[in-house]
Structure 1
């Protein structure tokens, strides 16, 4: 076969594959997606099919494998079981409209309505961290922490020292932090070791561990910032556990944490 015929065969194969990718994109990408998102992905795939399609499959596909479905179902079952004996709300009588909203919330989230108290918003960065550390010092049973970005530095040290003191008292401490959100900051490589040294039960959220055949979409991260103490006191907001300027020298983030009590 002459080189000319080989080249034509390759050209034909390239042509067929190129159009197959574009037809697939037009039929599959817009399904169940916002128009703006669909347009962006379609443009990427139609203009650069051999780059756009791998990126879409990596970060844009809504498909979830069976293992993730199974884990989500197990989580749903655990939540339902934990609250199965709790009524939808603790009030004797409510207006019909309010009660319907509460029942809809219970149906959609699995959580009942309870009575809690807002102790205020912590707006000062260092004082927010110190307030959480002070609350941890009062823990008697457990401390559960879920934070997107975590760095053990001079600003966050009071928080981790409070966790260490809690473990010394025999308080259970569980800590979740995001791998992608944390790995680019100083001290990440030794963070797990330092947490283990103070006997904290820690885990990475949504890690990319290809060497363990575990892969998750890198663009879907867990951005929650939660601290729960004894199931009666909690902090929720936007503050990550890292010094206020992160890696910059001329920009400071303004973050808040709301302190709550209740069941």
Structure 2
């Protein structure tokens, strides 16, 4: 029987390959046409599958299908947050008095997009790069009495990473509940990975989306880009900064990378925990009960501001940040400031930026003059002309690389966190951002962006066209792959 089967395969294997190619190609093309909401993505995948039926279908199965369907927070857990954060004061009134009247419409949009309530009673402190953020985070870990949850895309095994590992070990040894979640891709940025040390010290630490080979095939294109530290139910840290010594001038000198992070005290901390707890359960199947981790705490210090978290991810929160950005640009009346290390907006977002500029709104976009990712920089340069011709002002900052992701509108509303303005971040990654309705914070962030502009050169159409033809061609070729960079 085996000999007959082997003889059959030897004689007819080309026909079998052709048959499998047709079957896989048809199934893959139909699936892409039926499940891709973006027509450009649907056309691209159908083209790849039909031009190379077998290989294209396999590639689509590995990287093109969104299999993330877990709920970020259930209705029961949402009720638990409200029950256990007794000091939260939901802001049901008009946000105009604390920000500006035009943001009342944006608040309604974000109520539907975020699904987290907008809470007053939050004290938010801006932290400048690692020299301010890391000591504050380490002090919070050393001062923790009850629980610590830490999530990061990159957690390097370097001098600052070891300080965090030692602080977490001390907390674990004195009986504090500790959980650490690191992205499986981000964990490979340093060797040996720090998770081995954490586990050796007995700290519950896991990788987000992994397998025996380092990739869970079904989710190979998904990454957790969130940066969260949650302490004792009432304090948290979030923003754009990973854990790595390259952000500390005191360790690497004046050319250290820059970033912006935030310390949060008040009800917003419970939202940070909810995002972490769901990612932890998705990765480990362990459910962290909110009533055990979020206990009654005193009111946050003054001044207190209304704010909320916004989660975006390739599940039911897909395009959440994209929707918030479109809403913010639509209500802008005077000045939009954007700082992003990786600025690759899609056509819809570029249209919103250009429309705001054509309405008379000043739109300033700050990008690094020296990017840490060369391919991203080339792709960015390939499409800057589209926003410049629309009336936006683009600035390349000549200071050391800045990893901050900041947006302010009309000096009255801010959006900060982990999201970059690129296709991967806005559709594929798990991101966590925060919207703040507060003039003082918006003005503080606006001054921070203006300081970067003061160290920048303005990008012009003439300068872009003056690049050698081979450089412009290279940029456009890399730009074609921008959705997966």
For normalisation by structure 2, the TM-score amounts to 0.43
Q: Is the 8 A contact 1:143 1:172 kept in 2?
A: yes
Q: Structure 2 vs 1, CA of residues 104 and 36 (structure 1 numbering), >3 Å: closer, same or farther? A: closer
Quote the residue 1:3 is aligned against.
none
Q: Is the 8 A contact 2:157 2:190 kept in 1?
A: no
User: What SS is found at the alignment partner of 2:168?
Assistant: helix
Which digits, 9 at most, give the CA deviation of each residue in 1:144-176, with x for residues without a partner? 101112223113222222223323433222111
Mapped to 2, the partners of 1:44 and 1:220 lie a distance apart of: 21
Mapped to 2, the partners of 1:184 and 1:91 lie a distance apart of: 41
Unaligned runs of 5+ in 2: 1-8, 248-254, 268-485
- For residues 27-106 of structure 1, the aligned pairs below 5 Å read 27-33=30-36, 34-63=38-67, 72-73=70-71, 75-85=73-83, 90-91=90-91, 93-94=93-94, 105=110
Q: Is the 8 A contact 1:206 1:216 kept in 2?
A: no
User: What SS is found at the alignment partner of 1:170?
Assistant: coil
Q: Which residue, 219, 230, 233 being the options, matches 1:231?
A: 233
Quote the residue 1:159 is aligned against.
164
Give how far 1:127 is off. Answer: 3.6
Residues 94-103 or 23-32, more deviating: 94-103
Mapped to 2, the partners of 1:154 and 1:239 lie a distance apart of: 16
User: What SS is found at the alignment partner of 1:30?
Assistant: helix
Quote the residue 1:248 is aligned against.
none
Q: Structure 2 vs 1, CA of residues 262 and 24 (structure 1 numbering), >3 Å: closer, same or farther? A: same
Q: Structure 2 vs 1, CA of residues 193 and 181 (structure 1 numbering), >3 Å: closer, same or farther? A: closer
For normalisation by structure 1, the TM-score amounts to 0.74
Q: Which residue, 230, 242, 259 being the options, matches 1:255?
A: 259
Q: Is the 8 A contact 1:79 1:110 kept in 2?
A: no
Give how far 1:60 is off. Answer: 0.8
Mapped to 2, the partners of 1:41 and 1:239 lie a distance apart of: 34
Q: Structure 2 vs 1, CA of residues 20 and 196 (structure 1 numbering), >3 Å: closer, same or farther? A: closer
Give how far 1:9 is off. Answer: 5.3
Compare relative contact order (CA 8 Å, sep 6+) and give the higher one, 1 or 2. Answer: 1
Q: Is the 8 A contact 1:119 1:259 kept in 2?
A: yes
Residues 101-110 or 158-167, more deviating: 101-110
Quote the residue 1:169 is aligned against.
174
Give how far 1:131 is off. Answer: 2.2
Q: Structure 2 vs 1, CA of residues 99 and 80 (structure 1 numbering), >3 Å: closer, same or farther? A: farther
User: What SS is found at the alignment partner of 1:129?
Assistant: helix
Instruction: Report whether the alignment pairs 1:195 with 2:201.
Output: no
Unaligned runs of 5+ in 1: 1-5, 246-250
Mapped to 2, the partners of 1:134 and 1:95 lie a distance apart of: 34
Which digits, 9 at most, give the CA deviation of each residue in 1:222-262, with x for residues without a partner? 111111112222111122223328xxxxx964432122221
Mapped to 2, the partners of 1:235 and 1:37 lie a distance apart of: 36
- For residues 118-157 of structure 1, the aligned pairs below 5 Å read 118-123=124-129, 125-157=130-162
Q: Structure 2 vs 1, CA of residues 58 and 93 (structure 1 numbering), >3 Å: closer, same or farther? A: closer
Which digits, 9 at most, give the CA deviation of each residue in 1:60-98, with x for residues without a partner? 11345xxxx5xx359524523413547995347447998
Give how far 1:215 is off. Answer: 5.1
Quote the residue 1:241 is aligned against.
243
Q: Structure 2 vs 1, CA of residues 78 and 101 (structure 1 numbering), >3 Å: closer, same or farther? A: farther
Q: Is the 8 A contact 1:208 1:218 kept in 2?
A: no
* RMSD over aligned Cα atoms: 3.6
